Amino acid sequence: MTTTLKDTPTRTISAGRAVSSRPMRRRAAFDWGRPWVYLVAIVVVLVSVAPVAYVWIGGFRTTPDINADPAGWPNPWSLENYVVVLTSTRFWGSLFSSSLVGLGTTLGVVVLGVMAAFVIARYTFWGRGALYALFAAGLMFPLTVAALPLSVLLRDMGMQGSFLGLIIPQIAFSLPMTIIILVPFLRAIPAELEEAAAIDGASRIGFFWRILLPLSAPGLVTVGVLAFIGSWNAYLLPLLVLAAGGMPQDLWTLPLGAQQFSTQYSADTGAVLAYTSLSMLPALAFFLAVEKRIVGGLTGAVKG
């Protein structure tokens, strides 16, 4: 009798994951202590959100107002900064550029990362430890020091001033973290599934494509979000590749665009805060959209 996938106890994989074939049992509510829990939650949320709220509210103040009274409420409430930012072509161009680069980076990181992590996690071969260590070592070196040789390399390869020239190095820099997260995740998928797939006649690659990828979707989403946020907030690489490479300013990424509100000696603080608030929105939206999957994603890795 062949073992088919349907026979595999789904509970094995689903325990602890948000994605499962059975809904998770609701935890019985602990009634006592609930107000206390809410108090803690509110305090933590307030502390977390307050500085961010400061940025948002600061955008509603004119810069002279901020300078006159740094800690005060907007007086008057002014939409000017937000209007200036939203009506500039440079903002929308940067939004497009950041989105393009972000999505491209995320896609590349997830694809390349899961492929490499699959090999490290599921194959046994000479040099596997070294391969893993090589990727992990990428986390331990301050990359700013490598900016100069990187500039030279990018120029020699003709990648200056193109989006692809930015995306590919960004993928490279995001790979260590991605692989470190994905490897335990992929390892946690039981060997029986692989055996079952083999018995059913699927090759290892078939196993990868049909079973492993869907099961590791939460992990993929996790690394995707982290890569997207990393790319969204990146400054040095876009500076070296896009800004110095001849890309028109309207297509620089969002963090670079914040410069337009400062001179060498002074800054239009209100506009900077408004600009940053608006730039933050897409990254936040992306995070909120996939947030549930992250918890599921991290869960699987931890269980491994």
Partner 1 sequence: MNKRAATRWVALATVGICVGALAACAPADDNPGEGDAVTIRWWHNATSDPLQGLWADVAAEFEAANPGVTVEVTGYQNEDLQRTLIPNALQSGDAPDVFQVWPGGEVRAQAEAGYLRDISDDAADLIAEMGGAVKPWEVDGVQYALPFSFGITGIWYNKDMFAQAGIDSPPETLDELIEADDALKAAGITPLAVGAGDLWPAGHWWYQFALNACSVETLQTAIPALDFDDPCWVEAGENLEAFLETEPFNDGFLATPAQTGADSSAGLVANGNVAMEFMGPWNSGVIGSLTPEAEVPAFLGWFPFPTVPGGDGDPTVTMGGGDGFGVSAEAPDIAVELLKYIHSAEVQQRFAETGAGIAAHPAAADSLADPNLQQIASGLAGSSFVQLWLDSALGPEFGNPLNQAIVNIFGGVGTPEDVVTALKDTAAAL
Partner 2 sequence: MTHHLTAGPAVFAGPAPAPVQAAPRPAPRRRRAVNGRQWLEIALFAGPALIVFVTFVILPVVLAGVYSLYNWNGLGPLERFIGLDNYARALTDPLFLRAIGNNATILVASVLIQGPLAISIALLLNRKLPGRALIRALIFVPFVLAEVIAGLSWKLLLSPRGGVNALLETVGLGELAQPWLANPDIALWVMFSILTWKYLGFAILLMLAGLQGVPEELHEAAAIDGANWWQIQVRITLPLLAPTIRIWIFLSMIGSLQVFDMVWVTTKGGPVGATNTMAVYLIQYGQGQYGYGSAIAVILFAISLAVALVYQRFAMRRDLAGSVTSGVR
Q: Is residue 209 within the footprint of partner 2 (CB under 8 A)?
A: no
Q: Do you find a cis peptide bond into 76, omega within 30 degrees of 0?
A: yes
Q: Please report, for residues 27, 28, 44, 251, 271, the alpha-carbon distance to residue 36 in angstroms, rounded to integers and kept in the order given.
A: 18, 17, 12, 49, 40
Site pattern 193..232 for partner 1 (x: CB under 8 A): ---------------------x------------------
State which of positions 121-140 bind partner 1 (CB under 8 A): none
Supply 57's token pair: 């509210």
Q: If binding means CB under 8 A, how many residues of this protein chain bind partner 1? A: 48
58 vs 297 by CB, closer to partner 1? 58
Of 5, 79, 83, 236, the residue at the interface with partner 2 (CB under 8 A) is: 236
Report the C-alpha gap between 56 and 243 in whole angstroms. 27
Q: Is residue 190 within the footprint of partner 1 (CB under 8 A)?
A: no
Helix, coil or strand: residue 224: helix
How many CB atoms are located within 10 Å of the residue 119 CB?
Answer: 17
Tell me the helix, strand and coil percentages in the chain, rounded to 5.
70, 0, 25
From 80-88, 89-97, 138-146, 244-252, span contacting partner 2 (CB under 8 A): 138-146
Of 5, 7, 10, 37, the residue at the interface with partner 2 (CB under 8 A) is: 37
Q: Is residue 292 within the footprint of partner 2 (CB under 8 A)?
A: yes
135 contact, one of partner 2, partner 1, none, CB 5-8 Å limit per kind: partner 2
Q: How far is the CB of 164 from partner 1 (least distance, A)?
A: 5
100 contact, one of partner 2, partner 1, none, CB 5-8 Å limit per kind: partner 1
Residues with Cβ within 8 Å of residue 91, at least 6 apart in sequence: 85, 257, 275, 278
Q: How far is the CB of 136 from partner 2 (least distance, A)?
A: 3
CA 76, 274, 261: angle at the middle one, nearest 5? 105
Residue 40: phi, psi to the nearest 5?
A: -60, -45
Residues that bind partner 1 (CB under 8 A): 63-70, 100, 103-104, 107, 147-148, 151-152, 155-156, 158, 160-165, 167, 214, 236, 239-240, 243-247, 249, 251, 259-269
